[in-house]
Amino acid sequence: MEMTATGPTPRERALLAAARRGDENAYQLLVEPHRRELRAHCYRMLGSIHDADDAVQDALLRAWRGLPRFEGRSSTRSWLYKITTNACLSAIARQPKRVLPVDFGDPADPHGGAGAPLVESVWMQPYPDERLDLGDDRAAPDARYDRRESVELAFVAALQHLPPNQRAVLIMREVLGFSAKECADALDTTVASINSALQRARKTIDDKLPEQTQQATLRTLGDERVRELVQRYVDAWESGDVSRVVAMLTEDATFSMPPNVAWFRGRDAIETFLPTGPMAMPRRFVPVEANGQVAFGTYLLEDGRFRANAIHLIDFRGERVSEIVAFLDREVFREFGLPFYLD
């Protein structure tokens, strides 16, 4: 659905009037239909599930306080996006950008192990699909990316390299389908500035993204072939067969485990590292849906029980795995509805 400059619907006007009189229930009815997509917007802007939730709460509080100033010249949805985008820009100004280990430093020596974790809040986090406003289509006719492409790890990671305003412009124009005028109104700038920022943002993003999105790759492979490849991958991990895992990788594959700074590039390096850490103990893989990609919750055998270990995402290039990111943040398991221990 394309963003338009039309005002609130009759129902929204009634809810707005009640909310302005202090009716909190009316306000909740007004904003709740937009909460999921606003959360997805914040995740794209901030790269973190926890930061996104905080930004949505901040934005909805700002909107509640700003009700008297909302004149109804734009849709309620556009008004909420304006407030939410500015809440994200405020969050970006007071914290470091979120990245993946491959963007943080050079690949590590696989003989040196996983290295020490960096506990500061600099790492991106995975996001459960069920909490995102996902579909297979574009959010608006003019959008360049569909909803699933716009939450893939590679795309969200690339966004974090953009200056904040360029990041906001690219998302609002290319993902959400805002017009240049609506985007300018939201960011209190000119259409010319928006168009200039979009041009610069596109160049940066295009330089950092792979040639093909995961959505396009998975569609090309087809559901049956994807299931076969995923089953082969899981079987190799759960049987502890390093050579079978490595055989499924591209020559330049990467493996990272945030919050550990160390990451590894290439089959040889990954083959050297896996037996010393990730595949040193038995594991179990539970399928999950994260970032519109193939993903798993993984569990490590410890004291006779399988304990939560990582949210494990993979990228395919053709029929081989080109990137593995294992997020070693057990607290994120709650967001995926996964238990800390398997029976």
Half-sphere exposure for 220 (CA within 13 Å, toward CB)? 10
Reported as a pLDDT band with limits 50, 70 and 90, residue 140 is low
- The structure tokens listed for 243 are 């050579």
Compute φ and ψ for 109, nearest 5 degrees.
Answer: -75, 120
Compute φ and ψ for 71, nearest 5 degrees.
Answer: -90, -5
Instruction: Single out the residue of 37, 8, 13, 35 nearest to residue 26, CA to CA.
Output: 13
Helices (H), the chain: 10-20, 24-31, 35-46, 49-65, 76-93, 153-159, 164-170, 180-187, 191-208, 214-221, 223-238, 242-247, 267-273
- The structure tokens listed for 263 are 């990451």
Average of per-residue pLDDT across 173-183? 94
Task: Look at residue 149 and tell me whether its pLDDT is greater than 80.
Answer: yes
- Please tell me the predicted confidence (pLDDT) of residue 2: 39
- Between CA 110 and CA 211 the distance in angstroms is 28
Average of per-residue pLDDT across 330-338? 93
- Please tell me the predicted confidence (pLDDT) of residue 197: 98
Q: What amino acid is encoded at 193 in this protein? A: S
- Between CA 85 and CA 73 the distance in angstroms is 18
Task: Look at residue 183 and tell me whether its pLDDT is greater than 90.
Answer: yes
Average of per-residue pLDDT across 36-55? 95
**Taking the domains of the chain in order of start, what are their residue ranges?**
214-342
Task: Look at residue 135 and tell me whether its pLDDT is greater than 60.
Answer: no
- Please tell me the predicted confidence (pLDDT) of residue 143: 73
- Between CA 57 and CA 125 the distance in angstroms is 19
Overall CATH class of domain 214-342: alpha beta
- The average confidence (pLDDT) of the chain is 92
Burial class (CB in 10 A: 0-12, 13-18, 19+), 2: middle
Average of per-residue pLDDT across 177-186? 94
Angle, helix 191-208 to helix 180-187, in steps of 10 degrees: 100
- Please tell me the predicted confidence (pLDDT) of residue 81: 97
Q: What amino acid is encoded at 76 in this protein? A: T
What proportion of the chain, given as a percentage, has pLDDT over 70? Answer: 95
Average of per-residue pLDDT across 216-228? 97
- Between CA 192 and CA 253 the distance in angstroms is 41
Angle, helix 49-65 to helix 35-46, in steps of 10 degrees: 120
Buried/exposed code over 239-256 (b: 16+ C-beta within 10 A; e: otherwise): eeebeebbebbbeebbbb
